[in-house]
Structure 1
Amino acid sequence: MNQESLTSVLNGRLSKLTYAVAAGLLLVACSQGSESANLEVRDGETVKKQVEQASSHILKMMALNGQVTDTGALTIRCTDYDSGEEVYRARHPWSVYQVPVPDMEKAMDRLRVELPEMGWKVVKDGVDDSPAKSPQIVAESKGQEYAVDVRLLDERKYGDDPSLIEVTVQSSCYRAK
């Protein structure tokens, strides 16, 4: 598979899975209810930069030398709030590929150890709900400002798609400045 085809496949898989990941993270990062008056007022660009910094720290924890897709953080509305309210979150989906699966498994093990050491609380460590039952780690940062969902998609048995670790870092909901 050439680089252009590989990038196209990964971007398609990333966009499909990003929505599923975001739905799961909504439960984690916005579990405080739907009282927008109680939300912190924050600058959206600052929140996006902070989410990208959290992503960078997670990539360093994984210590993988592969290709990284990076769409940059996006701002989206929090769906638990009325559409007229200015309540948002930042979400940063990315993945690492072109790494042997055993190295990816070791990276998942490193996250299990290092996320708690860095103040993250692991709220799920098991498999996702997909037919493949992919290994999944979901964690919240201390103070619950951010959540991360990490999945190892081992495609060796399923076809020509590359195996990868998919990561989505997401902020909690905030009121726009």
Structure 2
Amino acid sequence: MGDGTPEEDPLPSSGISTISDARNETEMVGAELLGLIRTEGEHSPGGVRITECGDGKDPEKYFQTFHPMNFFPKAPEKLAGVMEQLKAELPALGWKIVQYEYDTSQNKNLNLTADHDEKRFSVNIVHKAKDKRPSLTLHVISGCYEVPEGEKVEGY
């Protein structure tokens, strides 16, 4: 999260949580973000996944959640301006915009990355305007959770 400099910005702790509760929290954050798009369309069901925290943390005790989603508008032209809208609205909801730029891909997709320090989540949103089927991709990722005493992380 943040500027990506590991020495200055280590993965934040998201506290102690069961995998089930962490998945539910991640789904709620994803649903809240999808709700901000405000245009008709469909999104991929995806699902919340878990991964190791890294940084030498015990993978049986620590985990992160991530939730990849794709949003396909009914009318692709309705995505025009959505990234600007998200950039304007996310800060009022506690999100800090840490990146807003076009990537170096052939399509020059617009990327927005934001962190929510209180919730301990980051989101990366990419507007794929030039794809055959224009879409937004959203990747929601949590900080590092610790399972309750006596439990082990299972399901990587």
Bucket of the pairwise TM-score, normalised by the shorter protein: 0.7 to 0.9
Unaligned runs of 5+ in 2: 149-156
- Deviation string 1:79-132 (CA, Å, 9 cap, x unpaired) is 223455522111011011144343213221221111001111000111224332
Q: Quote the residue 1:167 is aligned against.
A: 138
Change (3 A) 1:40 1:146: same
Structure 1 residue 88 corresponds to structure 2 residue 59? no
Q: How far 1:47 sits from its partner (Å)? A: 1.2
Structure 1 residue 78 corresponds to structure 2 residue 53? yes
Larger strand fraction of residues: 2
Q: Distance in 1 between matches of 2:3 and 2:70?
A: 20
Q: Quote the residue 1:132 is aligned against.
A: 107
Q: Quote the residue 2:10 is aligned against.
A: 33
Q: Quote the residue 1:114 is aligned against.
A: 89
Aligned length, in residue pairs:
148
Q: Distance in 2 between matches of 1:78 and 1:86?
A: 10
Q: How far 1:41 sits from its partner (Å)? A: 2.0
Change (3 A) 1:90 1:83: same
- Deviation string 1:142-167 (CA, Å, 9 cap, x unpaired) is 326000000001225xxxx3111000
TM-score normalised by length of structure 1: 0.72
Change (3 A) 1:71 1:62: same
Q: Distance in 2 between matches of 1:85 and 1:46?
A: 17
Change (3 A) 1:26 1:93: farther
TM-score normalised by length of structure 2: 0.80
Q: Distance in 1 between matches of 2:52 and 2:68?
A: 16
Q: Distance in 2 between matches of 1:39 and 1:66?
A: 32
Within 5 Å, which residues of 2 pair with 1:45-84?
Answer: 45-82=20-57, 84=59
Percent identity between matched residues is 18
Root mean square deviation of aligned Cα: 2.9
Q: Distance in 2 between matches of 1:26 and 1:74?
A: 24
Q: Quote the residue 1:104 is aligned against.
A: 79
Unaligned runs of 5+ in 1: 1-23
Larger helix fraction of residues: 1
